[in-house]
Amino acid sequence: PMTDDLAFLPIRFDGSRSAHCFSGSQLQDSILIFLAVPGAPPMPMSVLGTDSIASVKLRIQRFKGFVVTKQRLVLDGHELARNNCPVKDYGLADGNVLHLVIRLADLRVINIETASGKKFQFQVDQSRNVKYLKSKLAVEGDEDLDSLEDDDKLEYDGEVLEDHQLIADISNKDDAVIHLFIRKPAKVRTQQVDKDTVVTVDNPQKKENLQNESVVVTPAKPAGGKPAPIEPIVVNRKAKLSSEVMKMIDSAIAGLENGYTPVMSAEGSGGVYFMQDSSGQKNVAVFKPIDEEPMAENNPRGHPLSTDGEGMKRGTRVGEGALREVAAYILDHAVGDRESGHGVGFSGVPPTALVRSLHRGKSFKFGSLQMFMENDGSCEDMGPRAFPVKEVHKIAVLDIRLANADRHAGNILVSKEEGATCKLIPIDHGYCLPEKFEDCTFEWLYWPQARERFSDETIAYIESLDAEEDIKLLRFHGWELSSSCARVLRISTMLLKKGAARGLTPYDIGRILCRETVNRDSVIEDIIQEAEDAVLPGTSENLFLETVSEIIDRHLLGHCPRHPPQGT
Ligand SMILES: Nc1ncnc2c1ncn2[C@@H]1O[C@H](COP(=O)(O)OP(=O)(O)OP(=O)(O)O)[C@@H](O)[C@H]1O
């Protein structure tokens, strides 16, 4: 609405003066940008270069009503994630379009009937338009819709709906039935080879990340029978799925078979669906389809499409979120147990698997399926004071090892156990194991617990870690890490081990991995640069890592731990 648009503009202007009357420095610092909210035309907004991201979000909250913590601001496909950072550090300039992505959806249920009488149900954000609904249908409709063309129409009450019309404006009645004709492009190619389905996940940017570019789905039902509604994707038949994963899949199948359709989560930046058990009373799993990740083709939250295949965080790929979710679970070994088949590991990543799942009762989608963990909210809802040191440290160890680029407070669930102690549950690992350290951020970095030393038990666990074994383990499960992701894992594991051995705290180590400001490289980035400058072109990876190791040692020598290392 007009009033909202106007509210953005004059906020910096004194009513009696025009913009031209601004005093020198303020005028120079003022930047006119456009804020793009899904389903509405971009609106002008004037900010100062010195404004922090948090203050821009606060203004958006004041004028648009979206709570600060539920906003993600995206410029050129990358999130402006640091709330304390001035906008000028992100290089925001006149005319830039800032995309607002709301992590909280305003969902609307829509019933759709095809010409041949088939019925579908969708949940769509009210702020999306008809064009978006069509693109969703194009992917999620069934084979009947295959032969239909792009210009097929959606109709409501005998009226043809225009592409730009908002879902909110179509009808006020909740039971709106929209008649449609639409085509269905393929997203993931499947091919029948003997009794198996060979699936190629379409990710043109970085195919080498999936072994042989294809994945074998083992049919859970005998050949000729109906496919199971959820099937784990198993690349290596020798890799056993943990019993927790199998149990979770079985209960989610029971829920689907009893007719309980997965419910879309109101929270999250991508498509996140809660699957129920056979009673329909309890959430048992969380399904995140590959094609609905932030910046992927069918993202339901209004994320702009990625233009170059890079994900919302630097050094990650759109379409690989599910692999990273599974990798985080696989690499979260239980103490003393590196093999597959473990339940919950040292850091408590919920059991997670790559699956093909029936979506909305008709088409299949690929994605990650994670055990639903009962919780009392996330760290976004409470201060960190009540969290036990051990709980914070287990998250810190995970984030440092995996160079997690998305550890915000909403991605740590809190469960209050009996006796009121809090357990922390790390979720959402779609942006771990990046190709570079640039976007590493750790919510816990400034929590007091991060300044405590690791316990002996944690130090023993850290000592047992081995990046080479981890890379092999992922390969065994079918994910061949790209050389740059493997390098990041090797260096972060090396730093964690060296730091812990010297008595450094999670804060000390985390500060080496995270940039202090957006535009200043982190210590680890400087160390890598120094090593790159020191070695000759064509040097082996091993020699390069030795060089990194020496530079880290030198850096840590100059680092004075808060307490002397143990045993010295
Ligand atoms: N394993 C889980 N158990 C219980 N709840 C979960 C689990 N995974 C996700 N959720 C719930 O779903 C919401 C969205 O999930 P998630 O954070 O993984 O999504 P996302 O799209 O990657 O988004 P974002 O990082 O922007 O929040 C979470 O805030 C949480 O409430």
Average pLDDT per 10 consecutive residues for the chain, totaling 568 residues: 35 33 54 85 91 94 80 90 93 92 71 67 72 72 48 68 76 54 35 50 39 42 68 82 93 94 89 95 96 88 81 87 94 72 84 91 89 95 93 98 96 86 95 96 97 97 96 90 95 98 97 94 97 90 96 85 48
Which H helix or E strand runs over 325?
helix 321-331
Contacts of 249 (CB under 8 A, 6+ apart): 230, 232, 285, 353, 355, 369
Strands annotated E in 181-282: 188-193, 196-201, 215-217, 230-232, 263-264, 273-276
Q: Atom 27 in ligand 1: which residue has the minimum CA distance? A: 268
Strands annotated E in 92-169: 97-102, 107-114, 119-125, 154-156, 159-160
CA 486 to CA 490: how far, in whole Å?
6
- Does one domain contain both 449 and 484? yes
Instruction: Residue 152: give its domain's CATH number.
Output: 3.10.20.90
- Does one domain contain both 111 and 97? no
CA 438 to CA 420: how far, in whole Å?
37
List the structure tokens of 500.
């812990």
Neighbours of 502 (CB within 10 A): 18
- Does one domain contain both 355 and 474? no
- Does one domain contain both 119 and 52? no
Strand 119-125 and strand 107-114: the pairing is antiparallel
Which H helix or E strand runs over 471?
helix 467-476
Q: Is 426 in the pocket of ligand 1 (CB under 6 A)?
A: no
- Does one domain contain both 135 and 174? yes
pLDDT, position 167: 77
Q: Is 268 in the pocket of ligand 1 (CB under 6 A)?
A: yes
CA 385 to CA 403: how far, in whole Å?
25
- Does one domain contain both 237 and 317? yes
302 inside domain: yes
- Does one domain contain both 343 and 327? yes
213 inside domain: no
Domain end among 123, 153, 183: 183
- Does one domain contain both 251 and 115? no
Q: How far is the CA of 125 from the centre of ligand 1 (A)?
A: 17
- Does one domain contain both 78 and 50? yes
Domain end among 43, 68, 102: 102
The distance of Cα 543 from the centroid of its chain, to the nearest Å, equals: 33
pTM of the model: 0.74
Determine the 3-state secondary structure of 190 from DSSP.
strand
Q: Is 410 in the pocket of ligand 1 (CB under 6 A)?
A: yes
565 inside domain: no
Q: How far is the CA of 120 from the centre of ligand 1 (A)?
A: 25
Locate the ligand 1 atom nearest the alpha carbon of residue 350 and give its number. 1
Locate the ligand 1 atom nearest the alpha carbon of residue 372 and give its number. 3
Q: Is 265 in the pocket of ligand 1 (CB under 6 A)?
A: yes
- Does one domain contain both 532 and 439? yes
Q: What are the counts of helices (DSSP H) followed by strands (DSSP E) for the chain? A: 14, 21
Q: Is 293 in the pocket of ligand 1 (CB under 6 A)?
A: no
Which H helix or E strand runs over 353?
strand 352-359
59, 68 contact by CB (below 8 A): no
CA 334 to CA 479: how far, in whole Å?
20
Neighbours of 153 (CB within 10 A): 14
CA 321 to CA 299: how far, in whole Å?
13
pLDDT, position 63: 80
User: What angle, rounded to 10 degrees, do the helices at 467-476 and 483-501 form?
Assistant: 140
23 inside domain: no
Q: Is 539 exposed, middle or buried (0-12, 13-18, 19+ CB in 10 A)?
A: middle
- Does one domain contain both 77 and 140? no
Q: How far is the CA of 328 from the centre of ligand 1 (A)?
A: 15
211 inside domain: no
Neighbours of 47 (CB within 10 A): 26
User: Angle at the Cα of 211 (from 207 to 213), degrees rounded to 5?
Assistant: 45
CA 348 to CA 328: how far, in whole Å?
10
Q: Atom 19 in ligand 1: which residue has the minimum CA distance? A: 268
113 inside domain: yes
Contacts of 492 (CB under 8 A, 6+ apart): 400, 401, 402, 403, 437, 513, 524
380 inside domain: no
- Does one domain contain both 259 and 360? yes
Q: How far is the CA of 411 from the centre of ligand 1 (A)?
A: 7
48, 32 contact by CB (below 8 A): no
Locate the ligand 1 atom nearest the alpha carbon of residue 428 and give its number. 18
List the structure tokens of 451.
């300044």
The domain of 483 spans: 387-406+432-558
CA 174 to CA 159: how far, in whole Å?
18
Determine the 3-state secondary structure of 154 from DSSP.
strand
CA 351 to CA 243: how far, in whole Å?
10
Give how many domains the chain has, as a whole number.
Answer: 4
Domain end among 148, 183, 218: 183
pLDDT, position 150: 52
ipTM: 0.98
CA 268 to CA 392: how far, in whole Å?
23
Instruction: Check residue 347 and report its DSSP letter.
Output: T
218 inside domain: no
